[in-house]
């Protein structure tokens, strides 16, 4: 029996696995679809073999096949919950340790690198129907799209009043409906800022616009009942850096932080891992996180929402709306 077929057996033992592995190359045998031994073990739901392949034989938890399907997803589709749970916790453990190591590098000169500098210097445009804001890293990325309107309303129902990232102004429009006492908006892109001025956002109820990157204007901005964070072209490290400010930005135990949760938004397994890592990172900062599950509008799969958009950034059926509060 070949190595991959053996790894796909429910009853393969650790001893048998050991005997099959002749050298490093055996571990990295792939089938024609790019599936690894870990994909096979996950499909069989053989937890001992999954643990050995990751722990002893160092197959990374996030390995994917040619179709970008991860071993974790295979465990989930096959209904092997114990295996799936192990894969998610292993992903959290590995990524959390990497994050801690990166943060603990002492004595190194920190290079100031702006993740979305190309985006901030590029030309972006509102579509004629006002439903999308396009441009970014290529000319047809969806910087902000109207399909998120329902989700933005849910975010706005929960929070007031510092919003980072204006985009289409969807959430800011909902925030205005709640007649805020103070409504601060941070926006970094000049085209978006000009759009805001053209549309009178500087004169709306209690609105204060801070034009610039949040990294440059966040100091001494005060405290808020609610904060919403949704930028474009930034990565998990940027979000993490923003989170470091949050304990000083929230007023009290009733104040809420939320953000657009597109973490690994095209892969349910990686999404589960990153949602959990985020909760762990927030816990370190003294914040508890609850995810409220919302349906994603089904029509967006068929109504042409993603037509002419170069990269679909969200394709999960459920949206997990984060509600984070200070632990007292």
Ligand X SMILES: C[S@@+](CC[C@H](N)C(=O)[O-])C[C@H]1O[C@@H](n2cnc3c(N)ncnc32)[C@H](O)[C@@H]1O
Footprint of ligand X on 114-143 (CB under 6 A): 116, 143
> Does 151 engage in binding with ligand X (CB under 6 A)?
no
x-or-dash pattern for ligand X, window 195-224, by CB under 6 A?
------------------xxx---------
Range 28-37, long-range pairs (CB < 8 A, 24+ positions): 29/2, 29/3, 29/4, 30/65, 31/4, 33/65, 33/66, 33/67, 34/64, 34/65, 34/66, 34/67, 35/4, 35/65, 36/63, 36/65, 36/71, 37/3, 37/4, 37/7
**Single residue of 167, 180, 226, 322 touching ligand X by CB under 6 A:** 167
**Single residue of 188, 196, 218, 296 touching ligand X by CB under 6 A:** 188
Alpha carbon distance 90, 32 (integer Å): 27
Closer residue to ligand X in complex, CB, 133/250: 133
Alpha carbon distance 186, 262 (integer Å): 20
> Does 183 engage in binding with ligand X (CB under 6 A)?
no
Q: In what order do the strands lie in the sheet with 125-126?
A: 125-126, 132-135, 141-145
Footprint of ligand X on 278-307 (CB under 6 A): none
Beta pairing partners, 323: 290
Closest CB to ligand X: residue number: 167
> Does 144 engage in binding with ligand X (CB under 6 A)?
yes
> Does 170 engage in binding with ligand X (CB under 6 A)?
yes
> Does 192 engage in binding with ligand X (CB under 6 A)?
yes
Give contact residues for ligand X (rule: CB under 6 A). 116, 143-144, 152, 164-171, 186-189, 192, 213-215, 230-232, 234
């Amino acid at each position: 029996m070949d190595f991959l077929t053996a790894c796909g057996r429910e009853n393969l033992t650790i001893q048998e696995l050991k005997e099959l592995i002749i050298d490093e190359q055996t571990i990295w045998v792939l089938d024609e679809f790019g599936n690894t031994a870990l994909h096979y073990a996950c499909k069989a739901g053989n937890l001992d073999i999954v643990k050995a392949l990751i722990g002893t034989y160092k197959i990374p938890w996030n390995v994917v096949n040619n179709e970008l399907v991860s071993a974790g997803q295979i465990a989930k589709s096959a209904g092997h919950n114990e295996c799936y749970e192990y894969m998610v916790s292993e992903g959290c453990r590995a990524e959390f340790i990497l994050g801690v190591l990166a943060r603990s590098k002492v004595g190194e000169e920190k290079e100031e690198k702006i993740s979305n500098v190309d985006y901030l210097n590029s030309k972006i445009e509102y579509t004629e129907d006002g439903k999308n804001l396009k441009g970014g890293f290529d000319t047809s990325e969806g910087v902000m799209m109207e399909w998120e309107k329902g989700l933005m309303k849910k975010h706005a129902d929960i929070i007031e009043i510092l919003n980072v990232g204006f985009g289409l102004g969807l959430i800011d429009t909902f925030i205005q409906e709640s007649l805020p006492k103070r409504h601060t908006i941070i926006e970094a892109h000049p085209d978006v800022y000009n759009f805001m001025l053209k549309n009178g956002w500087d004169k709306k109820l209690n609105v204060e616009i801070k034009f610039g990157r949040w990294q440059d204007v966040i100091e001494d901005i005060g405290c808020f009942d609610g904060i919403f964070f949704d930028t474009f072209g930034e990565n998990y490290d940027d979000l993490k850096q923003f989170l470091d400010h949050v304990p000083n930005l929230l007023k009290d135990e009733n104040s809420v932080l939320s953000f657009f949760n597109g973490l690994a938004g095209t892969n349910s397994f990686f999404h589960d891992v990153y949602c959990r890592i985020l909760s762990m990172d927030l816990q370190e900062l003294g914040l508890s996180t609850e995810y409220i599950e919302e349906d994603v509008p089904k029509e967006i799969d068929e109504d042409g929402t993603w037509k002419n958009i170069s990269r679909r950034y969200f394709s999960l059926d459920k949206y997990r709306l984060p509600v984070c509060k200070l632990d007292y």
